[in-house]
Amino acid sequence: MHAIDGAVNRMGKQNGSCWWCFKAVKWIPVIFILTIVAWSYYAYVVQLCYCIIDNYVQKGFYLLFFHILFLMFLWSYWQTVFTELMPVPDKFKIPDVEMEKLQQAETEEVQRQILERFAQDLPVTNRTIKGAMRFCEKCQLIKPDRAHHCSVCGTCVLKMDHHCPWVNNCVGFHNYKFFMLFLAYALLYCMFITATSLQYFIRFWRGELDGMGRFHLLFLFFVALMFAVSLNSLFFYHCYLVVHNRSTLEAFRTPMFRTGKDKDGFSLGKYNNFQEVFGDNARLWFLPIFSSLGNGVVYPVRSQHQGTPNTYDSMGSTQNSFGDGVNFPERLCNEDTHTLLGHGTQQWGDDTDFDSPPPYVNQVHH
Ligand SMILES: [Zn+2]
Ligand SMILES: [Zn+2]
């Protein structure tokens, strides 16, 4: 009954002032980013290009490239923030009748059988660490492969990568490409500013610049450099994840298949993995227009994990893993100690995955 109580509470909260405050506070990081970007525009275009640079050719060149990067960055950012993540299809939702049966089930084994029976025709290959169907008690559904529950968004997110406060949105199947482009253009934007303002930064230290503009320039250089350094590692880490076909969550917790754990279970080869996110039309690769392959629910898996019948349309060969020997920490704590409501442990900070039996087991024993 906890799930139902929880749902009622959440509904109640949605109309309360607290809920609106919480919703407003979540926009603060986005407003922070936009304020910095707006200031950087002023500092670069007005203070650097108009007030300091005299050479018209140089001015034109700087302004042209700056505006291209600025617009691409804002467009990608907008898409990452405002892309609505599509809900899990209805066929994964557990009907009330089945939910009642689940709640009344006395043992874990009975619940497991109910879930197995319900999900027998669903295209799911991922399992919990104990080999059971992955079930979200909050959304009352069978989780599609690679989907996880986000407690900030309050819903299950398809191919959830992580919840990103800087975009006030979950990064998942529907906006992962936008997120990658956002990182790429943000990095290029910061690198471009750092590189082109360096000589003026040096002049500042030599005392060759005067006026208030030089302080804008000083901060512009430092802020751009600082963001470039931090974005650099994040961007290249996500490049690594894209070519290995892993989400951030999967990099930290190896996905479990019917046949066992496999960190490369979704990997189809580097180029195919890249295409799965960026699409097969090269003209759209660098534009924040949705072009990822698939539907977010079913993913091609390596042959040994395929069940019968094969439920997806393959995007290419499913042969290889790279054997690159790179291992990420698989878990932050012992998997078997993680139960749903019983202990309330959170591994991800966003209570993403409930790879354990439904909560009713615990309640039955209470
Ligand atoms: Zn959920
Ligand atoms: Zn989220």
Are 40 and 179 contained in the same domain?
Answer: yes
Most confident by average pLDDT, 230-244, 303-317, 328-342: 230-244
Mean pLDDT on 2-18: 53
What is the domain range of residue 152? 90-167
Cβ count within 10 A of residue 277? 22
User: Which of 251, 270, 285 is the C-terminal boundary of a domain?
Assistant: 251
Are 121 and 139 contained in the same domain?
Answer: yes
Q: Which residues pair with 163 in a beta bridge?
A: 170
Question: How do residues 91-116 score in pLDDT, each as one tens digit?
Answer: 999 999 989 988 888 888 888 999 98
186 C-alpha to center of ligand 1: Å?
Answer: 31
Can you tell me the distance from the alpha carbon of 364 to that of 335, in angstroms, rounded to the nearest whole number?
A: 22
Asked whether residue 71 is assigned to any structural domain, the reply reads: yes
109 C-alpha to center of ligand 1: Å?
Answer: 22
Task: Provide, rounded to the nearest whole percent, the portion of the chain with pLDDT above 70.
Answer: 80
Short-list 175, 29, 141, CA closest to 133: 141
Mean pLDDT on 118-139: 91
Are 175 and 242 contained in the same domain?
Answer: yes
Can you tell me the distance from the alpha carbon of 172 to that of 157, in angstroms, rounded to the nearest whole number?
A: 7
Q: Which residues have beta carbons under 5 A from ligand 1 (an ion)?
A: 136, 138-139, 149, 156
Mean pLDDT on 124-132: 91
Asked whether residue 15 is assigned to any structural domain, the reply reads: no
Reported as a pLDDT band with limits 50, 70 and 90, residue 313 is: very low
CA atoms within 13 A of residue 233's CA, in its CB half-sphere? 4
Q: Which residue has the higher pLDDT, 307 or 277?
A: 277
Mean pLDDT on 321-343: 31
Question: Domain tally for the chain?
Answer: 2
Question: How do residues 156-197 score in pLDDT, each as one tens digit?
Answer: 999 999 999 999 999 999 999 999 999 999 999 999 999 999
- Ligand nearest to C-alpha 134: 1
Q: Which residue has the higher pLDDT, 225 or 324?
A: 225
Mean pLDDT across the chain: 82
Cite the active site residues.
Answer: 164
Asked whether residue 154 is assigned to any structural domain, the reply reads: yes
119 C-alpha to center of ligand 1: Å?
Answer: 16
Q: Which pLDDT does position 325 carry in this prediction?
A: 31
Mean pLDDT on 242-265: 93
- Whether residue 62 is predicted with pLDDT greater than 90 in this model: the reply is yes
Q: Residues, the chain, total? A: 366
Mean pLDDT on 336-364: 34
Are 108 and 240 contained in the same domain?
Answer: no
Are 73 and 185 contained in the same domain?
Answer: yes
274 C-alpha to center of ligand 1: Å?
Answer: 28
- State pTM to two decimals: 0.79
Are 185 and 246 contained in the same domain?
Answer: yes
Asked whether residue 155 is assigned to any structural domain, the reply reads: yes
